[in-house]
Amino acid sequence: MNHPNRYITIRGKNFSYLISKKAIVVSLFLLLAVIVVMILSTGIGSIYIKPTEVVRAIFGYGTDPSNLIVRSLRLPRVIVAVLIGASLGVAGSILQGIVRNSLTSPDTIGTTGGATLGAVSFFFFFSDKISIHWLPVAAIAGAFGATLFVYTLSWKNGITPLRLVLIGTGFTAAMSSISYLMMLSGPIILANQSLTFMTGSIYGVSWEKAVYPLLPWVSLLIPVIFLLARHVTIQSLGEDIARSVGSHVQRQRFLLIMLSVALAGAAVAFGGAINFIGLMAPHIARKLVGPSFGALVPVSALTGSLLLLLADLVGRSLFHPLDIPAGVFTAAIGAPIFIYLLYRSRNRG
């Protein structure tokens, strides 16, 4: 049944978008929640800063100690958590839509494992030869290489979603073993750097090393994916229907996969192997706004940001003075969810 009062139509000369009013309300609510958690997270630490003082310090009107703590130490970490969470959430939602399986995420098709192996390989072979600023390049290259390899191995007259996930999970385990082998055979400093990366931590990030390089990348890729997301909705109806309405299925599918891998690879490059955000965020978003990708992409981005903000906040405040990596908490929550989804899909192709 058509309910025109539930949607808003935005028309231009060459485009037309149908936006759900519910999706707008949910997105605004999640955006407000992200902002509130950002302010609270910035104020919580060994030195507590009131939310009003945090806001003043963000704009440079706080006291000198507050300005220093907020703007130089805590705000970069919070912003990186938002960017990485949004990247993983969007990448997961697109991959699940393209493969048409709820088990799919950057973690389960080898993207995260490939990025991790690329980073550990960089530490092992190049850390003493070239600048550390090339680390993201190594991680992104590893993400692309692993994803293409898994996709090729999974191809047999097409891609079966469960086969893609199982091969991706097995290949991820193999890449993890290689990473650990390099860690054990190298110097102790290599093991420390690699272990921090593999547990998924945004501890010690700064404006120059993380925020400034990651922000333009995310700001470019997420809008591009949002504009192309309508193709995922069309493909979800089936390849025959998609082709009948003029969709170039294989080309658009490959392009969206590469964009998702680029987004997830960048997130892993700057935040380490933070697992299961790309699995959980799209599921929560789908429960909130339904399967339409015009709404699912922004809601997945906001949900991913909120999940990682909360995981990081718990990790550095609940066990103070220890700073537990955020990836530990996302894995603790995400692993049981993945097992449940795998069990539920056991009789599917």
Alpha-carbon span 284 to 300, nearest angstrom: 8
Question: Residue 1's pLDDT band (boundaries 50, 70, 90)?
Answer: very low
Nearest partner of 200 among 345, 315, 72, 32, judged by Cα: 315
Q: Are 276 and 333 in contact (CB under 8 A)?
A: yes
45 touches 317 (CB < 8 A): yes
**Residue 311 confidence (pLDDT):** 92
- H helix count then E strand count, the chain: 14, 2
- Residue 102 pLDDT exceeds 80: no
- In terms of average pLDDT, the best of 23-32, 97-106, 163-172 is 23-32
Average pLDDT, the chain: 84
**Structural tokens at position 330:** 């996302």
Mean pLDDT of 186-192: 80
| pLDDT over 80 at 162, yes or no | no
Contacts of 32 (CB under 8 A, 6+ apart): none
pLDDT tens column, 133-156: 788 889 889 999 998 898 888 877
Contacts of 223 (CB under 8 A, 6+ apart): none
> Using one digit for the tens of pLDDT, what is the confidence trace for 42-95?
999 888 999 999 999 999 899 999 999 999 999 999 999 999 999 999 999 998
Pairwise CA distance, residues 63 & 179, whole Å: 45
95 close to 258: Cβ distance less than 8 angstroms: no
H-helix or E-strand containing 299?
Answer: helix 293-317
Check whether domain 10-347 has CATH 3.90.950.20, yes or no: no
Give the least confident one: 10-14, 130-134, 287-291. 10-14
Measured distance CA(263)–CA(260) in Å, rounded? 5
pLDDT grade for 243, boundaries at 50, 70 and 90 = low
Give dist(CA 249, CA 243) in Å, integer: 7
Residues in the chain: 349
In this structure, the number of other CB atoms found within 10 A of the CB of residue 248 comes to: 12
Say how far apart CA 195 and CA 178 lie, in whole Å: 13
Structural domain spans, the chain: 10-347
Q: Give the residue-averaged pLDDT of 241-252.
A: 64
Q: For position 256, what pLDDT does the model report?
A: 87
Q: What is the distance between the alpha carbons of residues 179 and 121, in angstroms, rounded to a whole number?
A: 8
What's residue 244's pLDDT? Answer: 60
Residue 2 has pLDDT above 60, yes or no: no
pLDDT tens track for 199-223? 888 888 889 888 998 999 899 999 9
Share of the chain above pLDDT 70, in %: 87
CA 343 to chain centre: 24
Helix (H) or strand (E) holding 18, with range, is: strand 16-20
pLDDT at 129: 81
Task: For residues 223 and 216, give the distance between their C-alpha atoms in angstroms, rounded to a whole number.
Answer: 11
Sign of the dihedral through C-alpha 159, 161, 163, 169: positive
Confidence bin at 191 (pLDDT 50/70/90): confident
**What are the structure tokens assigned to 237, written together?**
């109806």
Q: Residue 36: pLDDT above 60? A: yes
